[in-house]
Amino acid sequence: MKLLIIGSMAYDTVKTPFGERERVLGGSASYSSLAAAFFAPVALMAVVGEDFAAEDRELFRERGIDCSGLLTVPGGKTFHWQGEYGYDLNEAKTLRTDLNVLGTFDPEVPDALRDTPYLFLANLDPKAQMKVLDQVRLPRVVAADTMNYWIEHRREDLAELLPRIHILIINEAETRQLSGEYNLVKAGLKILEWGPKMLIVKRGEYGVLKITRDSVFATPAYPLDSVFDPTGAGDTFAGGFAGYLAQADDLSESTVRQAIVMGSVMASFNVEAFSLDRLKTLTKEEIGGRFRAFRELTDFS
């Protein structure tokens, strides 16, 4: 099944203990769509400025990603984020945010995409996420991400969004911030009362927790002996997860769990290099190999 992803396209300036890169391709839509495209047909919605490089656009096209929803603002500049990580790669310190064209992004879903059955609303202003939802007819599955900024400053918009999505994908700190509960199981059950059927909690190097009313699934992350740049790990996870679900077109417990592990596999590759560099060279064989390695990693039969 086809998956529509809406989110941000960015140029990132990133520094980690292992190096730095200036104005490299990033953004929630970039990472998630490139990851999802390994599994399902993907359409991408985002906004860029005139400075957006032809080769960056080509990257998505050559993966067969439908870019009819990629809007270019004449004379505009692409969203720019600058951040830094210490040895604890779990959290970025944001040094600078230039919203540029993202600040006035008012998403219009192209007619041809209004019946897309799978939807991933990557991190973006919840008002923009809802505007997309208003335009898509009867989506089968809607997953959404958000971030601390929206939880703090747009809580009412989020409260409107939550009953309209099936799956909320956020990190551990955001789960606590949104729910006001420290304990993650309690936090999860509280968030489920506000609408979503499923909460997926991203815990960085510690893995993922999935909470529904009936059950909890927990998986560690794939341990790596070198992590270069964690930027986009959460978006890559979500893209792999949503892409796998869309391909399977099945929300059974076992498929959802496999999708979570597949998302973790994709994220584990992504952090091995800066920007989208690792996703660019990644092959289906490597993905299959690491999925099997993940089974070996966690098996205790």
Question: Which positions touch a copy of itself (CB under 8 A)?
Answer: 87-88, 182-186, 189, 203, 206-207, 209, 215-221, 223-227, 254, 257-258, 260-261, 295-301
Instruction: Provide the 8-state DSSP code for 187.
Output: H
What residues contact 122, with CB distance under 8 A and at least 6 apart? 5, 6, 7, 8, 28, 29, 32, 145, 235, 238
Interatomic CA distance for residues 226 and 55, integer angstroms: 28
Instruction: Give the nearer residue to a copy of itself in terms of CB position, either 62 or 88.
Output: 88
Across the beta sheet with 208-211, the strand order is 66-73, 42-49, 3-6, 118-121, 141-145, 167-171, 198-202, 208-211, 216-219
Closest separation between CB of residue 255 and a copy of itself, Å? 10
Closest separation between CB of residue 253 and a copy of itself, Å? 9
For 220: left if phi > 0, alpha if psi spans -120 to 50, otherwise beta; the answer is beta
Radius of gyration of the chain (CA): 18
Closest separation between CB of residue 177 and a copy of itself, Å? 13
β strands within the chain, DSSP E: 3-6, 10-16, 19-26, 42-49, 66-73, 79-84, 93-98, 118-121, 141-145, 167-171, 198-202, 208-211, 216-219
Closest separation between CB of residue 139 and a copy of itself, Å? 25
Instruction: Give the nearer residue to a copy of itself in terms of CB position, either 86 or 103.
Output: 86
The residues facing 49 across adjacent strands are 73
Do the beta carbons of residue 90 and residue 230 sit within 8 Å?
Answer: yes
Closest separation between CB of residue 20 and a copy of itself, Å? 18
Instruction: Give the nearer residue to a copy of itself in terms of CB position, either 52 or 294.
Output: 294
Instruction: Give the nearer residue to a copy of itself in terms of CB position, either 281 or 298.
Output: 298
Nearest to 266 by CA among 279, 247, 257: 279
CA angle 265, 230, 60 (to 5 degrees): 70
Closest separation between CB of residue 111 and a copy of itself, Å? 38
Instruction: Give the nearer residue to a copy of itself in terms of CB position, either 40 or 227.
Output: 227
Instruction: Give the nearer residue to a copy of itself in terms of CB position, either 114 or 190.
Output: 190
Do the beta carbons of residue 177 and residue 190 sit within 8 Å?
Answer: no
Closest separation between CB of residue 260 and a copy of itself, Å? 7
Instruction: Give the nearer residue to a copy of itself in terms of CB position, either 112 or 293.
Output: 293
Closest separation between CB of residue 59 and a copy of itself, Å? 30
The residues facing 120 across adjacent strands are 5, 143
Instruction: Give the nearer residue to a copy of itself in terms of CB position, either 63 or 257.
Output: 257
Q: What are phi and psi of 40, to 5 degrees?
A: -140, 160
